[in-house]
Amino acid sequence: MSIFGKIVDSIFGSSEAKAEEAKSAEAQAEEGKAPTAAPGEAAAAEPITVEEVETIIAKIDANRPGDYNWKQSIVDLMKLLDLDSSLSARKELAEELGYTGALDGSAEMNIWLHKEVMSKLAESGGKVPDSLKS
């Protein structure tokens, strides 16, 4: 799984859990209990705002011990989500997201990564885009 995929799963829940929820909703629809997309048609993830993403992450932060500067630091965001925040993991994430600068762990790279991750989380509505799946 891609690093971005792990971030999405940590914030919004695992892809496997979402697949199970979709199957359950489809089964309920067949029984006439709930509306759903046409058979074989996956519901598209709706974009959300960065503020909504931040609200979700803030709830995670409130339930974790420690003090994380996740609103500004990609390292702290990854640590909050119990993900590898090492330089090699951040380099891999930068490559996944299309960073074109030096992969040296600089402030420039880390700031870009944080902004890009928050933006992609909002754009994807909690779903890993096909282009970022590994």
**pTM assigned to the model:** 0.76
CA dihedral 52, 72, 131, 96 (to 10 degrees): -170
CA dihedral 42, 26, 23, 9 (to 10 degrees): 50
φ, ψ for residue 80, nearest 5 deg: -55, -35
Q: Among positive and negative, which fits the CA dihedral 4, 8, 10, 13?
A: negative
pLDDT in tens, the chain (134 residues): 899 999 999 999 865 444 455 455 555 566 666 544 444 334 456 889 999 999 999 999 999 999 999 999 999 999 999 999 999 999 999 999 999 999 999 999 999 999 999 999 999 888 877 777 65
